[in-house]
């Protein structure tokens, strides 16, 4: 039997269930619509900032336009002025090539809530809506140019600290107490301008300035700066011209007096205190330098040559030409003379002629023959003047124009003769040539007139010239002709002997010179003839070929 109450309740439950289902269905529909509306939003979600600029409810294009108007378009309008003391410098942000990455920042803002699945997207949207999020606007600029501008401002506005010092004038010496300076914190200036670039704004800024105190005066340092020995006037050489080096007066001061003066002024700044010094005059003053320049002939040396043949005439031309190039050459103290550098290449277009020389053990004509007589003559002037020989080499065979052991061979690009002016004054080389002689004179300042130099050559060994005979059946027996004059070989040691007032004080070994022997060649007859004819032929057929006096050096 159906209970009417129960039936009534069942009817009400159906209504409730239906109602609930209806509400749920509507809610789901509304949620779906809401979700669609939120997720299909074409604007940046709320709660999103780029730097301090709110981007919510803006389209991508609107966000870009806004940021460009705040940052990019304002770059040329923003000026920063740095001031320190009386110096100021104005910067315009456009100077530093600033570029704001607006599009990338707006894209990052727009992408929030638009990546991942639906639940991830809703989570991001509601999170930023409740808590907010800030996206940094990235930018770039010319950092080097900014730092250079700051450095320029720093240098121009900086008051440099001046430490205590000594000031030496012509007739007075002063103690300077020093002066405080200032320093700027360049890193903080950079940081300030960096923030102005970041925010596209001109924020007020007080430049941090630090006072730098000078160091305390060091008594020993000050004393050493004051005191000095007098220095004579001197001379150097530039472009073959004498340049006078002025004299320097010596200075003395009592150290205890200096200490008291410094201590009494230790708390004063930017002041000068005259010091009680004594000046010491040098022996040679600038105004008297002319009395010392080129006043003495340090040494001279002469050699002779023949002009009795075309070969010797050519040698004479070469000797005179090369000597004229050397004539007047001036060397300052410490300067070196290179024969090859000064004389230069010996070529026909420079006027040199061909004359016999020794080369590879043979007699051959060569352009510039005779030059070695010039270098050897100059070498002997150098020896007797006391100048320092830096490089010298003897010839392969003996030469006749200077003593054995006193020759100097030269060959352009191969062998040089080099000496150095080891005196305290300039020296000048004078060259004199006549038809049959060459002379070198070295003029300078002889500071030791009581000293004399002698050269001693000691023969260590000798080797006779080897003789070669050539039989000639066309020549009468007992007759001969010298085809080539030989030369003996020698070994010589050369010493420089120094005498003071005629007494030997020093003997210095200079060089060992080795001269090779040169073959003597004789042609002799083997033909049998009558005794009288043989005698006449012997008298009339003798001939000798002279060897040249020049030769190239041996390989050592």
pLDDT per position as a tens digit, 282-304: 999 999 999 999 999 999 999 99
| CA 74 to the chain's CA centroid | 49
Q: What is the pLDDT of residue 178?
A: 95
DSSP class of residue 493?
A: E
3-state secondary structure of 169: coil
Domain contains 263: no
Nearest to 200 by CA among 62, 109, 90, 69: 69
Instruction: Average the pLDDT over each of 19-33, 190-204, 360-374 and give the range with the smallest value.
Output: 19-33
Q: What is the pLDDT of residue 538?
A: 41
Q: What is the pLDDT of residue 553?
A: 41
Residues near 156 by Cβ (< 8 Å), separated by ≥ 6?
87, 89
Domain contains 549: no
* Distance from C-alpha of 454 to C-alpha of 113, rounded to nearest angstrom: 107
Q: Please, what is the end-to-end C-alpha distance for the chain in angstroms?
A: 149
Instruction: Average the pLDDT over each of 13-17, 165-169, 481-485 and give the range with the smallest value.
Output: 13-17
Regarding pTM above 0.85, the answer is: no
Residue 407 near residue 223 (C-beta atoms within 8 A): no
Residue 291 near residue 321 (C-beta atoms within 8 A): no
Residue 375 near residue 368 (C-beta atoms within 8 A): no
Higher pLDDT among residues 3 and 194, named by residue: 194
DSSP for 292-311 reads: TTT-EEEEEEEEE---SSHH
Domain contains 349: yes
Nearest to 202 by CA among 121, 92, 42, 341: 92
Instruction: Average the pLDDT over each of 74-83, 209-218, 232-241, 477-486 and give the range with the smallest value.
Output: 74-83
pLDDT, tens digit, 9 for 90 and up, residues 491-502: 999 999 999 999
Helices assigned H by DSSP within 502-553: 531-540
Higher pLDDT among residues 115 and 327, named by residue: 327
For the chain, give the mean pLDDT.
88
Domain contains 141: no
Angle in degrees, 0-180, between the axes of helices 102-111 and 60-70, rounded to the nearest 10: 140
* Distance from C-alpha of 342 to C-alpha of 383, rounded to nearest angstrom: 19
What residues make up the domain containing 408? 296-540
From residue 333, alpha-carbon distances to 82, 387, 388, 426, 427 in Å are 55, 11, 12, 6, 8
- Reported confidence tier of residue 532, pLDDT bands at 50, 70, 90: very low
Domain count, the chain: 2
Q: What is the pLDDT of residue 8?
A: 60
- Reported confidence tier of residue 136, pLDDT bands at 50, 70, 90: very high
Q: What is the pLDDT of residue 536?
A: 47
Q: What is the pLDDT of residue 205?
A: 74
- State the residue for tokens 């050699």: 303
Domain contains 337: yes
% of residues, the chain, pLDDT over 70: 88
For residue 26, pLDDT beyond 80: no
What tokens appear for 317 in the block? Answer: 């031309």
Mean pLDDT, residues 313-322 taken together: 96
Nearest to 408 by CA among 550, 253, 533, 245: 550
pLDDT, tens digit, 9 for 90 and up, residues 226-268: 999 999 999 999 999 999 999 999 999 999 999 999 999 988 9
Domain contains 530: yes
Residue 56 near residue 44 (C-beta atoms within 8 A): yes
- State the residue for tokens 């300030």: 192
pLDDT, tens digit, 9 for 90 and up, residues 42-83: 789 899 999 999 998 899 999 999 999 999 998 888 888 888
Q: What is the pLDDT of residue 292?
A: 94
H or E element in which residue 68 lies: helix 60-70
For residue 34, pLDDT beyond 60: no
Domain contains 107: no
Angle at 40 between CA 37 and CA 45, to 5 degrees: 90
Phi, psi of 500 (to 5 degrees): -120, 120
Helices (H) and strands (E) counted in the chain, each on its own, are: 12, 31
pLDDT, tens digit, 9 for 90 and up, residues 452-475: 999 999 999 999 999 999 999 999
* Distance from C-alpha of 130 to C-alpha of 238, rounded to nearest angstrom: 86
Helices assigned H by DSSP within 132-238: 143-157, 186-199, 219-226
* Distance from C-alpha of 150 to C-alpha of 130, rounded to nearest angstrom: 43
What tokens appear for 44 in the block? Answer: 């940046």
* Distance from C-alpha of 91 to C-alpha of 79, rounded to nearest angstrom: 6
Domain contains 403: yes
Strands (E) in 434-488, as ranges, are 437-444, 451-463, 467-476, 480-484
3-state secondary structure of 278: strand
* Distance from C-alpha of 261 to C-alpha of 175, rounded to nearest angstrom: 8
DSSP class of residue 217?
A: P
* Distance from C-alpha of 554 to C-alpha of 548, rounded to nearest angstrom: 16
- Reported confidence tier of residue 6, pLDDT bands at 50, 70, 90: low
- Reported confidence tier of residue 542, pLDDT bands at 50, 70, 90: very low
| CA 131 to the chain's CA centroid | 65
């Amino acid at each position: 039997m159906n209970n009417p109450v129960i039936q009534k309740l069942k009817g009400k439950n159906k209504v409730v269930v239906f109602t609930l289902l209806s509400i749920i269905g509507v809610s789901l529909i509304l949620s779906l619509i809401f979700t669609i509306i939120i997720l299909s939003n074409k604007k940046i979600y709320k709660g999103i900032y780029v730097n301090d600029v709110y981007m919510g409810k803006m389209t991508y294009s609107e966000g870009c336009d806004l940021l460009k108007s705040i940052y990019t378009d304002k770059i040329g309008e923003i000026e920063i002025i740095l001031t320190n003391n009386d110096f100021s410098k104005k910067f315009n942000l456009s100077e530093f090539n600033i570029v704001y990455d607006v599009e990338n920042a707006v894209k990052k803002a727009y992408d929030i809530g638009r990546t991942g699945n639906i639940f991830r997207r809703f989570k991001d949207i509601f999170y930023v809506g409740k808590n907010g999020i800030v996206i940094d606007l990235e930018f770039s600029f010319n950092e080097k140019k900014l730092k250079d501008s700051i450095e320029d401002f720093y240098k121009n506005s900086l008051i440099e600290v001046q430490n205590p010092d000594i000031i030496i004038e012509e007739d007075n010496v002063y103690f300077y107490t020093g002066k405080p300076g200032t320093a700027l914190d360049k890193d903080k200036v950079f940081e300030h301008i960096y923030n102005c670039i970041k925010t596209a704004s001109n924020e007020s800024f007080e430049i941090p300035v630090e006072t730098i105190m000078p160091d305390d005066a060091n008594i020993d340092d000050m004393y050493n700066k004051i005191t000095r020995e007098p220095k004579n006037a001197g001379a150097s050489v530039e472009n073959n011209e004498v340049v006078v080096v002025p004299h320097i007066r010596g200075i003395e001061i009592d150290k205890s007096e200096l200490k008291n003066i410094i201590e009494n002024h230790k708390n004063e700044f930017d002041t000068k205190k005259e010091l009680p010094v004594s000046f010491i005059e040098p022996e040679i003053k600038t105004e008297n330098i002319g009395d010392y320049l080129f006043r003495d002939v340090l040494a001279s040396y002469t050699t002779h040559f023949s002009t009795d043949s075309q070969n010797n005439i050519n040698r004479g031309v070469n000797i005179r030409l090369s000597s004229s190039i050397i004539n007047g050459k001036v060397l300052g103290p410490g300067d070196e003379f290179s024969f090859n550098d000064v004389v230069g290449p010996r070529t026909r277009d420079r006027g040199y002629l061909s004359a016999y020389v020794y080369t590879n053990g043979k007699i051959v004509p060569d352009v510039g023959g005779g030059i070695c007589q010039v270098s050897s003559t100059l070498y002997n002037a150098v020896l007797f003047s006391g100048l320092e020989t830096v490089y010298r080499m003897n010839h392969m065979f003996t030469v006749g124009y200077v003593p054995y052991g006193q020759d100097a061979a030269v060959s352009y690009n191969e062998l040089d003769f080099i000496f150095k002016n080891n005196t305290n004054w300039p020296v000048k080389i004078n060259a004199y040539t006549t038809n049959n002689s060459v002379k070198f004179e070295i003029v300078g300042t002889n500071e030791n007139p009581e000293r004399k130099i002698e050269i001693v050559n000691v023969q260590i060994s000798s080797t006779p010239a080897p003789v070669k005979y050539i039989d000639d059946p066309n020549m009468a027996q007992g007759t001969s002709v010298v085809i080539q004059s030989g030369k003996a070989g020698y070994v010589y040691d050369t010493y420089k002997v120094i005498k003071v007032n005629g007494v030997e004080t020093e003997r210095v070994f200079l060089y060992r010179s080795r001269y090779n022997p040169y073959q003597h060649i004789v042609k002799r007859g083997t033909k049998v003839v009558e005794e009288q004819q043989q005698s006449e032929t012997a008298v009339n057929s003798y001939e000798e070929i002279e060897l040249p006096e020049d030769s190239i050096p041996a390989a050592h």
